[in-house]
Amino acid sequence: MQVDLRQSWWIRDVEIPTRLVLAPMAGVSVQAFRRQGRRYGAGLVCSEMVSCAGLEHRNERTLGYLRVSRDEHPLAIQIFGSEPGVMAEAARMVVAAGADIVDINFGCPVRKVTKTGAGATLLDDPERACAIVDAVATAVDAPVSVKMRRGLEDGSRACLSIGPRLVDAGAATLTLHPRSARQMYTGHADHSLTAELAELVDVPVIASGDITSRARAQTVLATTGAAAVMVGRAAQGNPWALSEILDGEAADPSREEVAAELIVFIRETVRELGERRASGFLKKFYGWYLGRGRFPRPFKQEVVQLESTEDVVTRLLAAAPGAAELVEQLEAELPDPADEILLDSMPISIYGGG
């Protein structure tokens, strides 16, 4: 059975225009990544994980991360923490920033998050997990979503016992990445668990994990009853993968198209993070964009060694002169930065994601 991936669906009163969700990923899901994902067909985009402790303490190091532009909606902003009251206040702040959905992370397997009692650890503490969801759902009018793993240990089925309880506590949708926290990103996502969860709850379930092609997305949707699929690593430096999953279009962009998308991504990221932070942040993206046989390996290595982002842009334009016209077209379609909501008085801290 073929599922129409361009059919809209709802998370309570928020309409999602396609059945493709762009995953929240630490060190990846900056505004430029989210906006690009929307252009290529993601119906819902998500911020990387925001520490509620950073929000509470007004951490100034990452002031400016909570930018929301009008072309990002619908947008979920993901928060993490272990104290219900602090999470509730964080939820109020991200809704004030423009979030359409508040997403709670119960899936991050990274030690520096789990050791605080947050992330995937909460799957083994269902009482606290439910208290957090209840506090957040009570604090805001926006729908609340929860992203979780199958459990902490391999073979765990904790997601199936805690999932219905989270819905009862106020979750309007659940995202399941059916790997264990111990697995991190190894092995395979067991979507038979996704099917079981979808049978247990009366809210939409989003299937996350190993969604790398249109065929895989169709199979997961048809066999699990999930409302949508979430794409993560497959879209890193490769927004064309989103179009392929949605419409079956070959993810085979020209060098000019690759260079143009990367140049716009660079400029938008510098605008968001500043040159100093962006220059280091972007290096992994150069490998992602320029790999997959799109550019020779020596060229990719040369670009990574360049000192400034403007040097990278210059080198890309020299290698693909036809990209200049495409860059002009893409930048002309971007909304005015003045339309952004920027919480200058609400600095935050980003610790990681899962």
| Active site residue ranges | 108
Beta strands, E only, 36-190: 44-46, 50-51, 67-68, 75-80, 101-106, 144-151, 173-180
What is the pairing mode between strands 341-342 and 67-68?
antiparallel
The neighbouring-strand residues paired with 175 are 147, 206
| Cα gap 285→288, rounded to integer Å | 5
CA–CA–CA angle 118, 123, 125 (5° rounding): 80
| Cα gap 168→151, rounded to integer Å | 19
Of the candidates 181, 57, 174, 184, which has an alpha carbon nearest to the alpha carbon of residue 119?
181
Structure tokens at 82: 């272990």
Describe the chain by its helix, strand, coil percentages, rounded to 5. 45, 15, 40
Of the candidates 174, 208, 172, 170, which has an alpha carbon nearest to the alpha carbon of residue 189?
208
> How does DSSP assign 10-59, residue by residue?
EETTEEESSSEEEPP-TTT--HHHHHHHHHTT-SEEEPPPEEHHHHHTT-
The number of angstroms, rounded, from the C-alpha of 121 to the middle of its chain's C-alpha atoms is 20
What is the pairing mode between strands 20-22 and 44-46?
parallel
Contact assessment for residue 47 and residue 54, using Cβ atoms and an 8 Å cutoff: no
Of the candidates 67, 124, 52, 50, which has an alpha carbon nearest to the alpha carbon of residue 272?
67
What is the 8-class DSSP label of residue 6? T
| Cα gap 118→86, rounded to integer Å | 12
Structure tokens at 178: 């059916």
